[in-house]
Chains A and B, each alone.
Chain A
Amino acid sequence: MRDESLTGSRRSPVTRHPSRLLIVGAMLALFAPWGGAQNPGEFLLDFSEAELRRILQHGPWPPPASRDPSNRVSGNAGAIAFGEKLFFESRLSAKGSISCGTCHVPERGWSDGRKLGVGLVEVDRNTPTVQNVRTHRWFGWDGSSDNLWSQSIRPLLDTREMGMTERQVAETVRSDADLACRYEKAFGARPPADDAAVLVAVGKALAAFQETLVSGRTPFDDFRDALANGNHKAAARYPQDAQKGLRIFAGKGNCSLCHFGPNFTHGEFHEIGIPVFKKAGGVDWGRYEGIKRLRANRFNLLGPFNDDPARADGMSTRHVALVPQTFEQFKVPTLRNVALTAPYMHNGHLATLADVVRHYSEIDPTLLHMAHMYFDPLVPEAVPTDTLLKPLKLSSIEISYVVAFLMTLTDTETGKPRNPLPACR
């Protein structure tokens, strides 16, 4: 039974907090004149209170730096340098031919531009960017890792990707003077004889490096901050088409419900109607299998390699639910620098950003979830999951607006040449 006495709880945070109402009201007053005539080259839509609220939630950027409590060398300069060296080290693959950087290419938004990733052989999924990973809760398309160092270890040992053994990784570090030197600078001691300890340390150094891969500020961030500061003149310099696309993104498109927050992802999983049959046969069950792998992973946050003795960051792993609704779900990716990381979706099924927007515009809900019913014991009857996704039926010009907005999430820093690391002494 629903308690209608709780009607008050349905009020928006703005109406519950008069100070917010004043701020939004003042912003609306500032922007009202800009809904109509503008100077040439300047244009500002008359965004509603709800639109402004959603837009402002996509910042500020960059997020404040924070250490990973599960990784004792998170933020450590020596570990970051060691991790960078390891990231581009092809001796960490069975044939000495590929490194992490083979698939996570800086100039390609730390992805590879391929439909499916290629390690020692082609794999089943598209290569996700490693930019902004320090803000994530789950790693990989299926979230089978709950921490970045565990996720960094996974491809090293995957026979299809880099194909190393624990012993081979440890031996490579122990036997190379430069790597051993960097290990000591990061961890305060020479690499030990314990192979697992060296492997985990390699993962943690790789994580420390990847934590530094934060994308730069974008035209959208300047626009968002101008709105937040009431600087309508600066806001009006944001491209007109992008503003119209943003209005769809944060409005009728409902894109920002999942692509939420400063990193344009709420960090969780959805099934969105992308084919799940693997090229090599079989079905990619996505999050469902990911949770099973997570629980079986000795490097998860509940295990002995977490440097946080309190395991406080293991909350999500302790409580994650393995339920049928997770079938064929994949992680909602960041949209920062999304223009650099085509093709899209977990299997590279869509070639361009316009294809992605068109997918949501034409999506057929009957193909989405009828096969998977939500059997939560607290829900009176099984129902098709996630009825949020409905065809948007956007016009071709509206699709171009959304793409124009997505293009403004591109920074100018990504892909710039990196300075070579000096030798370790």
Chain B
Amino acid sequence: MRIALKICTFLAAAIVPFSAVAQSCVADLPGGRKVESEHYVLSYRTRPEKVAISQHFAVEIAVCPKGGDPAPESVRVDGFMPDHNHGMNYRAVVKPVGDGRYEAAGLMFHMPGKWDFIFEVRAAGRTDRMTATLLLQ
């Protein structure tokens, strides 16, 4: 009986905070765009809002697990020009800022054309990738 109680206590300690995170997590940044994978919903918005060609910009990201999926361990963002087969000349640095939110700095789309934002969410040894397209003219 004691062992069963301990197990229940342990499970409660482990699951309740996770459930609270999952329930309170809102991946819906005002003015942002949303992408989804099998396990995550991701909302992002750029700062400044209008991405200028060959100028640095930042990205605010909010990520929420779907259902019982684990919270993200890390998030990455990159840019790629599918029509040119090359990406950015810069590496974005993503920092968690709490509550499932992240801030990415140092991005630059240096040419006009079609760019893909590539988001990677890693957790429990699995990587989910999501893309969103931006046409820069």
A interface, CB within 8 angstroms of B: 1-3, 5-6, 9-14, 50, 53-54, 256-258, 260-261, 266-269, 315-316, 318-321, 325-326, 374, 376, 378-379, 383-388
Tally of A-B residue pairs with Cβ under 8 A? Answer: 110
Q: Which residues of B contact A50 (CB under 8 A)?
A: 137
A112→B85 CA distance, assembly (Å): 36
Q: CB < 8 Å: which of B53, B87, B132 contacts A9? A: B132
Is B95 close to A, CB under 8 A? no
Chief secondary structure at chain B's binding surface: strand
Q: Which residues of A contact B135 (CB under 8 A)?
A: 9-12
On whether the beta carbons of A268 and B78 are closer than 8 Å, the reply is no
B interface, CB within 8 angstroms of A: 33-37, 53-54, 56, 76, 78, 80, 83-93, 105-106, 108, 110-114, 116, 118, 120, 129-135, 137
Q: Which residues of A contact B131 (CB under 8 A)?
A: 1-3
Q: CB < 8 Å: which of A2, A261, A321 contacts B90? A: A321
Q: Which residues of B contact A326 (CB under 8 A)?
A: 89
On whether the beta carbons of B85 and A257 are closer than 8 Å, the reply is no
A269→B108 CA distance, assembly (Å): 13
On whether the beta carbons of A378 and B118 are closer than 8 Å, the reply is yes
A384→B105 CA distance, assembly (Å): 27
On whether the beta carbons of B137 and A315 are closer than 8 Å, the reply is no
**Minimal beta-carbon separation of B32 from chain A (angstroms):** 11
On whether the beta carbons of B133 and A10 are closer than 8 Å, the reply is yes
Q: Which residues of A contact B33 (CB under 8 A)?
A: 6, 9
**Minimal beta-carbon separation of A258 from chain B (angstroms):** 7
**Minimal beta-carbon separation of A80 from chain B (angstroms):** 27
Q: Which residue of A lies closest to B76 (CB)?
A: A378
Q: Which residues of A contact B56 (CB under 8 A)?
A: 315-316, 319
A12→B106 CA distance, assembly (Å): 25
On whether the beta carbons of B54 and A267 are closer than 8 Å, the reply is yes
Q: Which residues of A contact B108 (CB under 8 A)?
A: 316, 319
Q: CB < 8 Å: which of B34, B93, B120 contacts A378? A: B120
